[in-house]
């Protein structure tokens, strides 16, 4: 019998969540880790020279075969994505990430990978369930009948089902988490792919440093969301992969805030009050979205619990250091 290797593959290791996952696996004592990303190493969010780092385009099937060789566990966190500003204007690019998950699954099948994690998104949820800021939290069953976010959400929904059918037909243990807005240090905070928490922190910091006491907010500020701190995302992803949860499951915070309340929190941390200019033409996504955590609490007796105030404080401090040192 062939010896089972303990090699863990992190796809998208140069990105925000992938970088944190690698750091956490190392902290837990895992040593045989392969990190793969399309970006040149100098652009990776976190540099971890002690693991095997490969630069590959995972849309390519041969690259996926190289990446999965001798691997026991795969985390697929690689995708061409960003905040609303990016996904509303780059639908074809978002949909092309379907090649990454498809080729990774085929390669995983070929190399007898044992467990495969796929990072899906709350963008799979039907738009007609998210028309009001006064939300009813989204349950996993709300993804069907399907009417997801155009482009990005369709790709995620399709790839979820691909994972399901590879599990049913080929026996790969696939697990799928639907992430709801993840934020934290080492995330993208400028350049067009940043999401609301990082963008608002950066804008408040820039206003503070420049003395221009104004902030532009996308939408009317009344849209509601929940935001999950990165540590909860990393912890929850590993719990879901190790679990017996067969269907895609929400991984998100259930602490609901309006964008205006998020700005209040950041202003308080930055000890500043700004004039708010609402840009009603900017991409703002759905009116309201929250994570129903009934299922994750039932299966894991756990849910993301970091308070938004605490997570934003750490994120703000990190972005402050980046902006004030000119790292952006
Ligand atoms: P990220 O953009 O920081 O990381 C994704 C990484 O994938 C990037 O480093 C990118 O270079 C890499 N990548 C893209 N195309 C590739 C290719 N062809 N080959 C190899 N690498 C490639 O994003 P993230 O925030 O770390 O998100 C990770 C995963 O979680 C993604 O699948 C994303 O859709 C999902 N997700 C994230 C959030 C969030 O709030 N951050 C929410 C829902 C779902």
pLDDT of residue 153: 96
Task: Decide if 193 contacts 187 (C-beta within 8 A).
Answer: no
Of all atoms in ligand 1, which is nearest to the CA of residue 179?
A: 43
> Per residue, what are the HEC states of the chain?
CCCCCCEEEEECCCCHHHHHHHHHHHHHCCCCEEEEECCCHHHCCCCCCCCEEEECCCCCHHHHHHHHCCEEEEEECCCCCCCHHHHCCCHHHHHCCHHHHHHHHHHHHHCCCCEEEEEEEHHHCCHHHCCCCCCCCECHHHHCCCCCCCCHHHHHHHHHHHHHHHHHHHCCEEEEEEECCEECCCCCCCCCCCCHHHHHHHHHHHHHHHCCCEEEEECCCCCEEECEEHHHHHHHHHHHHHCCCCCCEEECCCCEEEHHHHHHHHHHHHCCCCEEEEECCCCCCCCECCECCHHHHHHHCCCCCCCHHHHHHHHHHHHHHHHHCCCC
pLDDT of 239: 98
Q: Is the pLDDT of residue 12 over 50?
A: yes
pLDDT above 70 (res 2):
no
The reported pLDDT for the residue numbered 196 is: 93
Bigger pLDDT: 3 or 74?
Answer: 74
Region for residue 3 given its phi and psi (left: phi exceeds 0; alpha: psi -120 to 50; beta: otherwise): beta
**Rounded Cα distance, 8 and 109, in Å:** 15
Question: Measured from the CA of 182, which atom of ligand 1 is nearest?
Answer: 40
> What is the C-alpha separation between 74 and 171, in angstroms, rounded?
15
Q: What is the pTM of this model?
A: 0.95
Residue 1: pLDDT band (50, 70, 90) is very low
Round to whole Å and give the CA distance between 198 and 228: 12
Query: According to CATH, where is 3.90.25.10 located in the chain?
Result: 196-225+256-324
Greater pLDDT, 196 or 133: 196
Q: How confident is the model at residue 28 (pLDDT cuts 50, 70, 90)?
A: very high
Which of the listed residues 10, 11, 12, 186 should we mutate to test ligand 1's pocket, taking the one with most ligand atoms within 8 A of CB? Answer: 12
What is the C-alpha to C-alpha distance for residues 18 and 186, in angstroms, rounded to an integer?
Answer: 11
pLDDT at 65: 98
Residue nearest to atom 29 of ligand 1 (CA): 77
CATH 3.40.50.720 residue window(s) in the chain: 8-129+139-183+228-251
Any residues with Cβ below 6 Å from ligand 1, and which?
12, 14-18, 37-39, 57-59, 77-81, 100, 119, 121, 179, 181-182, 188, 195
Residue 40 alpha carbon to ligand 1 centre in Å: 15
C-alpha 89 to ligand 1 mean position (Å):
17
Measure CA of the first residue to CA of the last residue in the chain; give whole Å: 51
**What backbone torsions phi and psi does residue 127 show, to the nearest 5 degrees?**
-60, -35
Q: Is residue 290's pLDDT more than 70?
A: yes
- Interval between CA 56 and ligand 1 midpoint (Å): 14
Q: How confident is the model at residue 4 (pLDDT cuts 50, 70, 90)?
A: very low
pLDDT of residue 61: 98
Other CB atoms within 10 A of residue 106 CB:
17
Kindly report the CATH number that applies to the domain delimited by 8-129+139-183+228-251: 3.40.50.720
- Which of 17, 158, 250, when mutated, tests ligand 1's pocket best, judged by the most ligand atoms within 8 Å of its CB? 17
Q: What is the mean pLDDT of the chain?
A: 94
The pLDDT > 70 percentage for the chain reads 98
The region of weakest confidence among 65-74, 77-86, 251-260 is 77-86
Question: What is the total residue count of the chain?
Answer: 328
For the segment 189-217, the average pLDDT, to the nearest whole number, is 93
12 alpha carbon – ligand 1 mean position (Å): 6
Distance 84 CA to ligand 1 centre (A): 14
- The pLDDT assigned to 3 comes to 40
Q: Which protein residue has the closest C-alpha to ligand 1 atom 35?
A: 119
Q: Is residue 292 predicted with pLDDT exceeding 50?
A: yes
In percent, how much of the chain has pLDDT > 90?
85
Rg of the chain taking only CA atoms, in angstroms? 19
pLDDT tens digit sequence for 93-124? 999 999 999 999 999 999 999 999 999 999 99
152, 179, 229, 316: which one is catalytic?
A: 152
pLDDT of residue 20: 98
CATH number assigned to the domain with residue range 196-225+256-324, chosen from the 4 options 3.40.50.720, 3.90.25.10, 3.40.1670.10, 3.40.390.10: 3.90.25.10
Q: Band of the pLDDT at 84, cuts 50, 70, 90?
A: confident
Confidence at 287, pLDDT banded by 50, 70, 90 = confident
Respond yes or no: is residue 30 known to be catalytic. Answer: no
Least confident of 41-50, 154-163, 196-205, 308-317: 41-50
Mean pLDDT across the stretch 288-308? 96
d(C-alpha 194, C-alpha 198), whole Å: 6
């Amino acid at each position: 019998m062939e010896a089972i290797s303990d090699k863990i593959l992190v796809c998208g290791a140069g990105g925000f969540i992938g970088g944190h996952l690698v750091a956490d696996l190392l902290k837990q004592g895992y040593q045989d880790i392969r990190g793969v990303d399309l970006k040149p190493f100098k652009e990776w969010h976190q540099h971890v020279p002690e693991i095997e780092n490969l630069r590959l385009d995972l849309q390519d099937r041969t690259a996926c075969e190289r990446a999965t060789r001798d691997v026991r566990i795969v985390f697929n966190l690689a995708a061409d994505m960003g905040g609303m500003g990016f996904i509303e204007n780059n639908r074809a690019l978002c949909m092309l990430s379907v090649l990454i998950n498809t080729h990774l699954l085929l390669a995983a099948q070929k190399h007898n990978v044992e467990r495969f994690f796929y990072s899906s998104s709350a963008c799979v949820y039907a738009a007609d369930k998210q028309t009001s800021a006064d939300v009813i939290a989204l349950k996993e069953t709300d993804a069907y009948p399907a009417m997801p976010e155009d482009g990005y959400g369709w790709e995620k929904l399709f790839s979820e089902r691909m994972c399901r059918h590879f599990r049913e037909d080929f026996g790969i243990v696939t697990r799928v988490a639907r992430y709801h807005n993840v934020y934290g240090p080492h995330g993208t905070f400028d350049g067009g792919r940043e999401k609301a928490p990082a963008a608002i922190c950066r804008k408040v910091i820039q206003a503070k440093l420049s003395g221009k006491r104004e902030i532009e907010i996308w939408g009317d500020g009344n849209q509601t969301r929940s935001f999950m701190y990165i540590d909860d995302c990393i912890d929850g992803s590993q719990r879901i992969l190790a679990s017996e949860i067969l269907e895609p499951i929400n991984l998100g915070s259930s602490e609901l805030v309006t964008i205006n309340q998020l700005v209040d929190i950041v202003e308080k941390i930055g000890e500043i009050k700004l004039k708010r200019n609402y840009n009603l033409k900017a991409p703002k996504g759905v009116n309201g979205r929250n994570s129903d955590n009934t299922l994750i609490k039932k299966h894991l007796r756990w849910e993301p619990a970091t308070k938004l105030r605490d997570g934003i404080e750490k994120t703000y401090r990190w972005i402050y250091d980046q902006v004030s040192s000119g790292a952006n």
